């Protein structure tokens, strides 16, 4: 039997819900003040999505107000299914003053009582972090509420200090009967990302690995996007390996090739992988794997773990100049990414040109020797094109590392050699897109005549060829 709302004739709650879902949070708040029945019908829509963007020069989102409300009325917490917390800071100045803090008042009794009530062994640490205004302490307190969370996105400011967030996930997932914490049974989509530009967190010796790896144990996780800082020794947080059967989409940044295989080996149903390789010249704390050498052999070995299920593969790469350095540092590749040709399930591939054929202009290389046989759409980027700018300033072996040598017509030549035989080696090919982030206009690079040749090449062989100039691509 449908419930009805007084003052709104006999309109069923279900019908009102179809209207409420199109209203803004501000409009929903107004409806909450109409009467008790309207408030009851509106609250599930008002609280279902928590979406905040912290803008530069603005106070932090009202997370303390939300926490006071849902701790006082836990039935409201149950309505929360989506949490999206992000920032809008210029990347170079976001960290100039250190980590931003959440202003806290003197009255924190309800927060302290709640934390003590969970029974967690690190309650004193958590409470002190709240008093200090640490962002991760407030995010952890939000995640500890009785939510019905399905989607979680935490942008870089909210994850630079992640110890307490990781503790909530670890105790919830590995000791669910010991503490009063949510089980995250419905959580399907998680993103925990940090900024890869220069910031204080990148010099810390305590890595976020232990805070992020528990996410692979979420019982119903489907999409996971995480930045994983590389530990000295990789170990899973519990005695048994995760088995995320529902995980089909994975986006990884910062993790080195040697650890990538550890992660992919447990993702037996993965369909989409987005992997970003990044080297930061300015990091002062390093281990033996934090080098400017891209080990394509290890990368190939890692990807081979998912060759039987993967249909969509994106590989990107970037390099940071270090603290105030004027030039992009030297990087190089070693080994081959020849595993790509054996990825029979892959239909879409995005990969840097240098990962396919190297930095040196070697026109004897053949794209058909590395491109997956059943590929439909191929995207080739010029990631790392502007690296190795400072080779003349190196006194070590990096002085002789190759710089980008590929000219536009040499690239066209390799593509033409491949397309001459595409119906045999890649018979399902539908389109090739070149993603260009930098064009040297002084030498007429990728000028009108070359672009015309690219279009003519596509028309001749019956394959869509496109060039996109995208200044947001990673160098």
Mean pLDDT of the chain: 87
Query: Per-residue pLDDT for 160 more than 90?
Result: no
In a domain, 268, yes or no: no
Of 154-158, 211-215, 433-437, which gets the smallest average pLDDT? 154-158
Which of 89-93, 172-176, 399-403: highest mean pLDDT?
A: 172-176
- Element holding 18 (H helix, E strand): helix 13-20
pLDDT bin (cut points 50, 70, 90) of residue 438 is confident
Of 94-98, 169-173, 194-198, 199-203, which gets the smallest average pLDDT? 199-203
Q: Give Cβ neighbours of residue 75 (< 8 Å, ≥ 6 apart).
A: none
Query: Per-residue pLDDT for 285 more than 70?
Result: no
Which residues span the domain enclosing 472? 273-475
216 & 343 share domain: no
87 & 206 share domain: yes
pLDDT at position 105 is: 77
Query: Per-residue pLDDT for 22 more than 50?
Result: yes
CA-nearest of 53, 60, 87, 56 to 194 is: 87
In a domain, 265, yes or no: no
Q: Quick one: tokens of 160? A: 């630079």
In a domain, 267, yes or no: no
d(CA 270, CA 244): 9
296 & 395 share domain: yes
Higher per-residue confidence, 249 vs 19: 249
In a domain, 256, yes or no: no
The count of domains in the chain is 3
283 & 319 share domain: yes
Query: Per-residue pLDDT for 127 more than 50?
Result: yes
Region 443-469: what's the mean pLDDT? Answer: 94
Region 31-52: what's the mean pLDDT? Answer: 80
223 & 303 share domain: no
324 & 232 share domain: no
pLDDT, tens digit, 9 for 90 and up, residues 343-360: 999 999 999 999 999 999
- Residue at token pair 């790469």: 317
Domain with 3 in it: what CATH number? 1.20.1280
Q: Write the DSSP string, 381-424.
A: E-TTTT--TTGGG--SGGGGSPPP---HHHHHHHHHHHHTTHHH
Catalogue the E-assigned strands of 92-211: 151-154, 189-192
pLDDT bin (cut points 50, 70, 90) of residue 208 is confident
* pTM for the model: 0.90
Region 436-453: what's the mean pLDDT? Answer: 89
7 & 94 share domain: no
Do 148 and 81 touch, CB atoms closer than 8 A? yes
Query: Per-residue pLDDT for 70 more than 90?
Result: yes
pLDDT bin (cut points 50, 70, 90) of residue 473 is very low
Q: Give Cβ neighbours of residue 369 (< 8 Å, ≥ 6 apart).
A: 338, 341
200 & 92 share domain: yes
Of 39-48, 236-245, 247-256, 366-375, which gets the smallest average pLDDT? 39-48
Query: Per-residue pLDDT for 140 more than 90?
Result: yes
128 & 94 share domain: yes
In a domain, 188, yes or no: yes
**Last residue of a domain, which of 212, 247, 282?**
247
169 & 289 share domain: no
243 & 319 share domain: no
pLDDT at position 279 is: 85
Q: What SS3 state is found at 432?
A: strand
For the chain, helix, strand, coil in percent to 5 are 35, 15, 45
d(CA 130, CA 141): 9
CA-nearest of 261, 213, 209 to 233 is: 209
In a domain, 158, yes or no: yes
Half-sphere CA count of 375, side-chain side, radius 13 A: 30
38 & 147 share domain: no
In a domain, 261, yes or no: no
């Amino acid at each position: 039997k449908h419930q009805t709302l007084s003052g709104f004739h006999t309109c069923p709650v279900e019908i009102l819900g179809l209207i409420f879902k199109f209203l803004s949070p501000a409009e929903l708040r107004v409806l909450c003040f109409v009467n008790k029945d309207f408030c009851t019908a509106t609250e599930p829509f008002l609280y279902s999505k928590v979406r905040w963007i912290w803008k530069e020069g603005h106070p932090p989102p009202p997370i303390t107000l939300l926490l006071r409300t849902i701790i006082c009325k836990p039935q409201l917490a149950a309505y929360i299914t989506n949490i999206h917390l992000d920032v809008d800071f210029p990347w170079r100045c976001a960290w100039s003053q250190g980590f931003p803090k959440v202003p806290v008042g003197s009255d924190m009794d309800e927060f302290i009582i709640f934390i003590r009530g969970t029974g967690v062994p690190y309650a004193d640490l958590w409470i002190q972090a709240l008093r200090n205004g640490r962002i991760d302490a407030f995010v952890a307190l939000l995640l500890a509420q009785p939510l019905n969370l399905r989607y979680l996105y935490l942008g870089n400011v909210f994850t630079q200090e992640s110890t307490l967030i990781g503790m909530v996930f670890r105790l919830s997932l590995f000791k669910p009967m010991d503490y009063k914490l949510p089980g995250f049974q419905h959580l399907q989509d998680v993103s925990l990302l940090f900024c890869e530009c220069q910031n204080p967190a990148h010099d810390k010796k305590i890595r976020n690995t232990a805070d992020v790896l528990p996410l692979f144990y979420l019982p119903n996780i489907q999409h996971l996007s995480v930045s994983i800082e590389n530990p000295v020794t990789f170990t899973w947080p519990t005695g048994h390996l995760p088995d995320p059967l529902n995980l089909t989409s994975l986006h990884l940044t910062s993790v080195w090739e040697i650890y990538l295989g550890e992660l992919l080996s447990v993702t037996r149903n993965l369909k989409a992988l987005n992997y970003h390789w990044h080297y930061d010249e300015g990091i002062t704390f390093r281990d033996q794997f934090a080098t400017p050498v891209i080990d394509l052999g290890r990368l190939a070995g890692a990807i081979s773990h998912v060759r039987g299920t993967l249909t969509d593969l994106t590989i990107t790469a970037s390099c940071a100049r270090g603290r105030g350095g004027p030039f992009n540092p030297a990087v190089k590749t070693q080994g081959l990414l020849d595993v790509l040709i054996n990825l029979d399930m892959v239909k879409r591939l995005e990969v840097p040109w240098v990962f396919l054929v190297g930095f040196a202009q070697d026109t004897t290389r053949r794209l058909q020797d590395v491109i997956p046989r059943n590929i439909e759409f191929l995207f080739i980027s010029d990631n790392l094109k502007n690296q190795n700018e400072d080779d003349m300033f190196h006194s070590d072996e990096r002085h002789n590392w190759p710089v980008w040598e590929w000219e536009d017509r040499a690239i066209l030549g390799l593509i033409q050699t491949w397309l001459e035989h595409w119906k045999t080696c890649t018979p399902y090919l539908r389109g090739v897109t070149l993603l260009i982030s930098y064009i040297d206009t002084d030498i007429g690079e990728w000028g009108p005549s070359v672009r015309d040749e690219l279009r003519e090449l596509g028309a001749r062989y019956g394959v869509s060829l496109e060039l996109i100039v995208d200044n947001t691509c990673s160098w």
